[in-house]
Amino acid sequence: MTQRRLIAGATAFGLMAGAGALTLPAAQAADPDEPTVILSEDFEDGDPGPLVQNGAATLSVVEDGGDKALLVTGRANDYDGIKTPANLLQAGGTYTFSAQLKLASAPGTTASARFVVEPAYSWVGNTTVSADAWTTVSGTFTAPAGADPATLRAYLGTADLGAPYDYLVDDVVITGTAASADGGTWQPTPDPAFVPGGAGNPTSTPVAAARGTGNAVALTFDDGPNPGETDAVLDLLRDSGITATFCIIGQNVQAEGGADLLRRIVAEGHTLCNHGTSYADMGSWTQGQVETDLKENLRIIRAAVGDPAQPVPYFRAPNGSWGATGEVAAALGMQPLGLGNVIFDWDGNDLGEETLTANLRAAFTPGAVVLAHDGGGDRSNTVDAVATVVAEKLAEGWTFTLPQGGAAAATAGITSGFETGTDGWTARGDGVSVTTATDARTGTGSLLVTGRTQPWHGAALDVTAGLPVGVAVEVSVWARLAPGQQPASLKVSVQRDNGGGSAYDGVAGAGASVTADGWTELKGTYTLGAAADTAQVYVEGPVGVDFLLDDFSLAPFAETPIQADVPALKDVLGSQGIEHVGVAIDARETVGAAADLLRKHYNAFTPENAGKPESVQPVEGRFTFTQLDQLLDFADENGVEVYGHVLAWHSQTPAWFFRDGDRDLTNSPADQALLKARMEAHIKGIADHIDARYPDGDSPIWAWDVVNEVIADGDTANPHDMRDSRWFQVLGEGFVDEAFRLADRYFPDAELFINDYNTEMPEKRADYLDLIGALQARSVPIDGVGHQAHVDVARPVQWLEDSIEAVEALDPTLLQAITELDVNASTENQGADVSGAPVDPYSPAFRDDADAAAEVGYYYRDLFAMLTDHADSVESVTFWGISNARTWLRTWPMARPWEQPLPFDDDLQVTPAYWGIVDPSRLPARPADVLPPRIADSPDVTAVSNGASGAKVTYALPSAIDTLDGVVPLDCAAASGSRFRIGTTTVACTATDEAGNTRTSSFDVVVTRKVPGKP
């Protein structure tokens, strides 16, 4: 076409691209800031794509002067026409828009036209166009940082339509420069024909660890294929019965014999890795240059293999020079692969066989990725070294596997049908019996579990071999209670053992209420986050419940990639003044899609269990740091800070802390000294280990929960209604002082917090503030106050704000943190005391799960509007779980499958809770009000009567608030100011909201006679 080639700013590369193509940047652009054509559409192929219809216009490609153009007719609105696809424009990028327009109207007709960029409807290049000639409409636009690429879209708009008019458009070109440093996540050039590399949820951070446990390595070869050496390596691997990963260079595939070798690599079951088209160092390349090279190498590989979708799930940067390559590779569906353990078989080193053999032996460490070369020079000595060491390691029982991430695990999974026996399942716990039974769901056999006297008792199966590190699996087992049993909640869990320590993980989603009347499936997902010595899956439930199991399976599971085009929570809340945005995790969240979500949305995390006393020091003097180290190392590698949890707690603390042999410690001076010494040894042991691991004060830990849950929910005989824990029984209130003084001594750079749940409840708030004030009066080094905020949709946000303001009034220099946030949608919420299960069963507050999710979203809206108002004192917010599938509320204290308490759903996709924080305008319609007002618990009132007729008693009305209507009136009987008889009178207070929902609460008025015994 020649008629309308009038566009300024379009590069020659963009205009030479095929019609309708979304173009790619040149591989060796001289200036990374040079504008790149990201869309060029001339309609010569008869298709408007990739542009899409906007509004109700009719689009058709027509001939105009020997050329093709797009005719836009049937316009009822000024925006009717064409629009760019989602995710083309990126946050922070600068774009030049250009198009040719001509009105399809009577000669002499004019109108204004411009590009309009949503969602802010920014005008770009407003120009007068006419029916007499083609006119260029062009202008430049810079997308704001943090913009959502899914909604950042441009359309052609015109002047208001006094009467409908049509127009022709041609030569639509958009050029752009890379996003600024704070412009959001880089996205590849939109190309619907592109087939990604095939990695499942790749991360931009290179991995350098093998799948599997124990003596397992991932053997990788770089710089091939190369006739001679690659042939020899393949012969060796074939004869040894092992597979490896080959990092392929495109120019070697195109060289003589290269394509044949590549086809053999694939045919013999090896895994491919993209190593670039050449040996060029990509460390200084722009994302666009890297993208072009990696896509070209994929094309070369796939063309040689004859499969346009051939998986190439890994990428390794040539020369180990990463630059932007990791980010680009992950975006293109390839997991960046670190160098791992190298054998130094390249120029400048001793390449003798003896040296390389010794180097290779040293490189074989459990869980390592081992790098050797089969190309790039004479690698014959490398091949000989590999032959020697592989034979040795096979004889020693080593296994060969893939690196973490990348391709899906090649495993058939594990199944149990109990048709011929227990299939390897064993009793978990003393006195537990595991036997076969004939009451089966399918077939003729099942597993009967009886004799359970602890909640964790049950049946267990070693699944170490079926849990590759970093690979998501789906776990399913069918359960039924034994005849005569009442309904009970069962769940599936995993025990991980490392270096003498154990961790216990719930299988996300695998919990349900089970009956004796039929079979119920317990199904969920699990990812082993780091190598474990052993791993076992087990089924557990309430004490005394007997149950049957059948049809167990464990198999690989394809995770859903996270949404890259939504704003990060840490950015949104950080801009509003909340510095630390965290999430509770364990090792599962350090790999796969969960790790991607963590990196994107959070700048801090709390170890859910790995820092608790029973995890760190299960036996006196034997510290086990493997679980905690895995998390701290992940934080250190990813620039994430850690909120430590917890140094002193009544729960999940081994019994040995409070015993001297077989004797319980008392509050004698000797026993107090012993317990203080144990507290110091525990805190010092943690500090010494972390200081050694991260010298020079470079630990990722920024804060610690020093003491946790020290205030009881009700009245106690202790000062401040302190919990009557073993810590308190031995040391009294002073155990809190001692813990903080020790933490200050051994963690001088960390912020030190007290932490508790239900701090928003008025009675507990008063006790909490009294204790904190007493600590300050004694000059205890407390830096911050934690509010767990395990709340429900009917618990007033105002109560939490009252608590935050009370702390601010006590001492405005105290930091405050929301430490364990989740919002449940149950009719009951009896707190978070894991030391005792609530008596009343929980039930859903909403019949419809979508309504529940929406209401949780509105609660988050109101909660974060309040928290950001107090951002000067609220230093940190931590969500208690990465996703709804991982929330403890789904299984505690019973199966609660309706709970949706977090910003991300079971598949790590955003929920209404997320939008309540980020953009409340995107919340669904609020459901009908079915939540009764919440009435604060009130203490009993006491009075003394001078006579037999009782006494007039005036009492303060308790707080009554509705989450929609605010403060609601209370009707109390008997009324304040009434005469109360001698004895106890229960006062019932009723609150009714505007929707007619009613709640009643009560307290006692106790009147005693001034003269005891007188009638």
Residues 385-397, buried b or exposed e (16+ Cβ, 10 A)? bbbbbbeebeeee
Orientation of helix 592-601 relative to helix 626-638, angle to 10°:
50
CB 894 within 8 A of CB 841: yes
Q: Residue 751 catalytic?
A: no
Q: Residue 709 catalytic?
A: yes
Cis peptide before 336 (omega within 30 of 0): no
DSSP labels, 840-893: SPP-BS-SSHHHHHHHHHHHHHHHHHHHHHTTTTEEEEEES-SSGGG-GGGTSS
Helix (H, G, I), strand (E, B) or coil at 171: strand
Beta-strand relationship, 501-514 and 488-498: antiparallel
Catalytic residue among 41, 614, 820, 855: 820
Of 358, 348, 265, nearest in space to 305 by CA: 265
Cis peptide before 225 (omega within 30 of 0): yes
Length of the chain: 1015
Rounded to an integer, what distance in angstroms lies between the CA atom of residue 285 and that of residue 279? 14
> Which contiguous run of DSSP H or E holds residue 992?
strand 983-992
Tokens of 523: 């199904």
Rounded to an integer, what distance in angstroms lies between the CA atom of residue 866 and that of residue 818? 12
Q: In 10 A of CB 94, how many CB atoms?
A: 17
Q: In 10 A of CB 310, how many CB atoms?
A: 18
Sign, CA dihedral 643-649-654-656, equals positive
Of 115, 98, 125, nearest in space to 9 by CA: 98
DSSP labels, 571-634: HHHHHTT--EEEEEE-GGGGSHHHHHHHHHH-SEEEESSTTSHHHH-SBTTB---HHHHHHHHH
Sign, CA dihedral 44-47-52-56, equals positive
Beta-strand relationship, 970-973 and 983-992: antiparallel
Of 586, 262, 203, nearest in space to 404 by CA: 203
Of 338, 43, 305, 17, nearest in space to 171 by CA: 43
Of 329, 37, 79, 371, nearest in space to 172 by CA: 37
Tokens of 287: 């994302």
239-242 long-range contacts (CB < 8 A, ≥24 apart) are: 240/390, 240/391, 240/394, 242/390, 242/394, 242/400
Rounded to an integer, what distance in angstroms lies between the CA atom of residue 770 and that of residue 774? 6
Phi and psi, residue 663, nearest 5°: -105, 135
Rounded to an integer, what distance in angstroms lies between the CA atom of residue 697 and that of residue 719? 37
Residues 914-944, buried b or exposed e (16+ Cβ, 10 A)? bbbbbbbeebeeebebebbbbbbbbeebebe
- Tell me 18's DSSP state: P
Phi and psi, residue 583, nearest 5°: -150, 145
* The amino acid at 663: R
Of 523, 238, 199, 508, nearest in space to 329 by CA: 199
Catalytic residue among 474, 540, 641, 709: 709
Sign, CA dihedral 769-773-774-780, equals positive
Which positions are catalytic?
709, 820
